[in-house]
Amino acid sequence: MLAARKCVLKKVCTSQHMSEAEALTKLVVYTSDQAQSCVLRACQIAGIATANFRPLPTDASSHFSLSPAVLIKAAATDVAAGLFPFFLCGKVGTTSSSAVDPLLELGDIAKRYGMWYHIDAAYAGSACICPEFRHYLNGVEKADSYNMNPHDWMLTNFDCSTLWVKNSELLVAALSNKPVYLQNKATDNNLVVDYKDWEIPLGRRFRAVKLWMVMRLYGVSGLQSHIRNHIRIAKHFESLVRADFRFEMIVPTNFSLVCFRLRTPAGSKDNSRTLNSKLVEALNRKGDILVTHTELSGIYTLRFAVGGTHMELHHVQAAWNLIQAEASLLNDKQ
């Protein structure tokens, strides 16, 4: 976002005869309301006004992916108001429900409005090492930057987040400075890649070595087997949910995250929010499993993530038995 900001400010200040401070107040960021909180945090770091951050609404009709029509309408409205769309973040595997945005269409819209197009595939990008899931990245070629986290789902210890940029010079230009004490012949003569200008801190860990070790240890087939096994187990858990009339799925399972809840009983005044929150509390209180929650279109939703390195089918079956038992106890108290 800092690189995108530097690019657009230069253009706007020149074409609109504005000061940098004035132009900065008119820059707008777009993403879906399902995007991770890091997008808003990036706005805070980059000095983008909170009022110019657009978490665009999604709903169940598109499985909570960002609608191109919604984006176009928002961008057109902002342009008419004298604002400047400059950054779009598309998602492959949202935090709440693993939704996947239509990357190809969003890329075309970003190009139309001259926006920097970033794709965040932090969690689900790992699945795309399997050919059968590669289609989720269709349109990635239109991105200006792309990231995924091997520490999320590719057997690499925290932290290890990979970033690709189409034009690294723009990123370096946004963060580069050359105090006397950091000057050296290797950097000055472009003999090395000086990563101090690629990120906010000057220093960095040697994260690449642990990712390299994982790749060497497991190989392509081993990593693919790991991903496929988790997705297979998650699909099995989804089938268990669908087979119990007391529960319902909120969205189909794309990867290894299952979003479900207890159905709303007759006479419920809060759409079963209280009932499902009690279920989460009861399960987590025991300490045998951890179930997190989210909200999707105002629906309190349970999240069951299959992600443990050594997780197997019998672990999921045991977890489901606990969930059913606690649900029965809650229903008895109703």
pLDDT tens figures, 129-176: 999 999 999 999 999 999 999 999 999 999 999 999 999 999 998 988
3-state secondary structure of 89: strand
CA dist 160 and 205 (Å) reads 9
Q: pLDDT tens digits for 199-238?
A: 888 888 888 999 999 999 999 999 999 999 999 999 999 9
Tokens at 216, concatenated: 């060497």
User: What is residue 203's predicted lDDT score, i.e. its pLDDT?
Assistant: 83
pLDDT band at 58 (very low <50, low <70, confident <90, very high): very high
Beta bridge partners of 299: 296
3-state secondary structure of 32: strand
Distance of CA 28 to the CA centre of its chain: 19
The reply to whether the predicted model has a pTM over 0.75 is yes
Please say if the pLDDT value at position 127 is more than 90. Answer: yes
CA dist 218 and 4 (Å) reads 37
